[in-house]
Amino acid sequence: MTRTIDLNCDLGESFGAWRMGDDEAVMPYISSANIACGYHAGDPGTMRHAVALARRANVAIGAHVSLPDLAGFGRREMRVSIDEAHAMTLYQVGALAAFARAAGTRLTHVKPHGALYNMAARDAALADAIAQAVHAFDPALRLVGLAGSELPRAGERAGLVVAHEAFADRRYEADGSLVSRREADAVIDDVGGAVAQALALARGEAIAVRGGAWLQVHADTICVHGDRPDAARFAQHLHRALLDAGIAIARPAGRRAA
């Protein structure tokens, strides 16, 4: 049976006169796009353009929801209440859904960004707030979260289809969490090393983690970071390596809780 993996990328992260990434160059090599909704990056024009690019490339469109932190690119933790987390998720999903609807398409998934993503991976109450907001907007949406963490578990409790996510270019701790970006070795900058890790994840093989241990990660989808300086080249290399290894690239079907 042919293995299949989703390749997702965080896109639409420019705003105003500030430019981040090369969405158009990355889009042909991925199957899902997580588009910033104005809280950590993105603005109305950028959101509309990213949706149009994804629709043209037949790439699944998802809302990349964040803490309200433009200055810190959403990577600084903030103390937010459960009600605030629910409301900010609903607000951002609704904003991107408006652009999708105007373009004649629809959202397929929601993925938190940065600090919110990592907080929800640990905090079941916060994860539940995000999952319930997604369900309240559209129970057909897929919730994407760190593989094996509280976020996909919350999605299942809410009755959502979930996608367990792994990262091609991030290093892992032995407990399955990501090495903090405050650490010098948090990101695998070498394209060859990141592609090798992604291939192992797509094949269901264990990957090396910090400290010399090995970790088994179930992955429905693998993230390619759009803010890498070489994001387009990396996405192209990874796309070709997966196909050469006999691994198909397609949107995830996900799994609904029983």
Mean pLDDT of 28-32: 97
Predicted confidence (pLDDT) per residue in 159-201, tens digit: 999 999 999 999 999 999 999 888 888 999 999 999 999 999 9
Please determine, for residue 125, whether its predicted confidence score (pLDDT) is greater than 60. Answer: yes
* Selected residue with higher pLDDT from 240 and 185: 240
Q: Is 32 helix (H, G, I), strand (E, B) or coil?
A: strand
Tally of CB atoms within 10 A around 33: 27
What angle in degrees, to the nearest 10, is found between the helix axes of 114-122 and 124-137? Answer: 110
Please determine, for residue 254, whether its predicted confidence score (pLDDT) is greater than 90. Answer: no
DSSP state of 72: T
Burial class (CB in 10 A: 0-12, 13-18, 19+), 86: buried
pTM over 0.75: yes
Tally of CB atoms within 10 A around 180: 10
Q: Where are the domains of the chain?
A: 4-256
Share of the chain above pLDDT 70, in %: 97
Mean pLDDT of 63-70: 97
Q: What is the pLDDT of residue 251?
A: 84
Mean pLDDT of 80-96: 98
DSSP string, 155-205: HHHTT-EEEEEEESSB-B-TTSPBPPTTSTTSB---HHHHHHHHHHHHHT-
Mean pLDDT of 16-25: 90
* Residue 1 pLDDT grade (very low, low, confident, very high; cuts 50, 70, 90): low
Q: Rounded distance, CA 19 to CA 13, Å?
A: 8
- What CATH number is given for 4-256 in this structure? 3.20.20.370
Half-sphere exposure in the Cβ direction for 223 (13 Å, CA): 29
